Amino acid sequence: MMKRVLPRTVVAVGLVSFLNELASQMAAPLIPILMATVLGAGPVALGLVEGAADAVASFLQLWSGRYSDRLGGKRKGLTLAGYGLSTIARPLLGLAINWPIVLVLRSLDRAGKGIRGAPRDALVADATPPEIRGYAYGFQRALDYSGAVGGSLVAAAVLTWSSASIAQVIMYSAVPGALVMLLLAFFMKDTVKTPAAPRSEPMSPLRWGTLSLPVRRFFQMLALFTLAGASETFILLRGHELKMSPVQLLLMWALICFIQSMMSLLGGKLGDKFSKATLVAISWSSFGLSFIVLSTVTSTVGLWSAVVIYSLFSGMGEGVERSLVSELSSAAQRGTVFGWFHMITGLAAIPAGLLFGIIWQRFSAAAAFATAGALAIGAAAIFAIHLLPLLRRRSQP
């Protein structure tokens, strides 16, 4: 049997993801609490902040992915710039005096993700043999979630055993962010399998129609599914409504990320053994059912139980989705296709966040979670009916 050893580049990307997420999750789970308590903002403002931030990232994903292809697969510089921008903007959230400032800084933070995301994902595919790419993406997502666990626990410990405020904890995220930059600068290298120079010939036009039919179909269904994937910070906002303390919310966030970490690694390995498209359909439908369960929650005990169910299913799909994208794209356009992938999910996040927040404010949290769950199940059904047969025909000799 083939020894499943990950390339050093993939391991380095995983460690960078771990440290960056450690920094990010010292801040991200505290944002809804900061907005609701210190800044006096509600669910609509939170939905606008999270949706707009993801939208900024999404536009940059397409540019950065395509530009990394134009550079002949040299993707480290863009990755370094993206992580650097997030490292600078994220701690400044602790100084915000109103929610529009949070909107600007959160958008800058996510802009860093937009610059680095597609080149980084393409770099993983460049460095990894096709037969273990699911494992590679699952590994990267597992370390990403593990960093989130660590960040949440560090934030909870600081709030519990020191006199630091929520704003100060957010500013402390600069420390692991600086470690990210050191690791990137000195330990990560580009992986270019052939000594290719930056492209001088014209690339194919950046048009939707230049993508293959399976890729276009998948992205269309992904956009519909993303409408259901409202930010996980809404789960924390629900916990805040149920009178959970900031430390309890951080521990809940850590639990979510821990379970997602384990499931991401499992999902990636399963994707190498079975049909990636089938696993995506299963993951999406299960995600929808978990949101239906969240819509029934009326107590903190119920929320803890629902969070476990949600985390089991939400963690499985992300690595498999990325592995499927790499399978459907050519090496020469891998960064561009990943750019489309991130741009579409980011753009769909704007109406997703706003829709979720408006339904919550006008009706109830239960109505918002139930609507999102129904959308996810619908997207999974359409995916299974319209895309699975196309992919089966594509894989036939």
- Asked whether the beta carbons of 183 and 15 are under 8 A apart, the reply is yes
Q: What is the mean pLDDT of residues 372-379?
A: 87
Mean pLDDT of the region 206-219: 74
User: Which residue in this structure is represented by tokens 């956009």?
Assistant: 223
Judge whether 268 and 320 are in contact, CB under 8 Å. Answer: yes
The one-letter amino acid code at 67 reads Y
Which tens digit of pLDDT belongs to each residue from 72-104? 767 777 888 888 888 888 888 888 777 788 888
Asked whether 341 and 318 are in contact (CB, 8 A), the reply is no
Instruction: Enumerate long-range contacts of 327-331, CB under 8 Å, 24 or more apart.
Output: 327/130, 327/133, 327/276, 328/212, 328/214, 328/215, 328/218, 329/215, 331/125, 331/126
The better pLDDT of the pair 225, 67 is held by 225
Collapsed DSSP state (helix, strand, coil) of residue 177: helix
Q: Among 37-41, 99-103, 150-154, where is mean pLDDT lowest?
A: 37-41
Domains and CATH numbers, the chain: 8-190+212-395 (1.20.1250.20)
Select from 176, 14, 177, 190 the least CA-distant residue to 84. 177
How high is the pLDDT of residue 2? 42
**Separation of first and last alpha carbons in the chain:** 25
The predicted model gives 371-393 an average pLDDT of: 79
**Share of the chain residues as helix, strand and coil, in percent rounded to the nearest 5:** 80, 0, 20
Closest CA to 78 of 122, 116, 108, 111: 116
CB-based contacts of 355, cutoff 8 Å, min separation 6 = 47, 227, 230, 371
Q: What are the backbone angles phi and psi of residue 203, rounded to the nearest 5°?
A: -85, 165
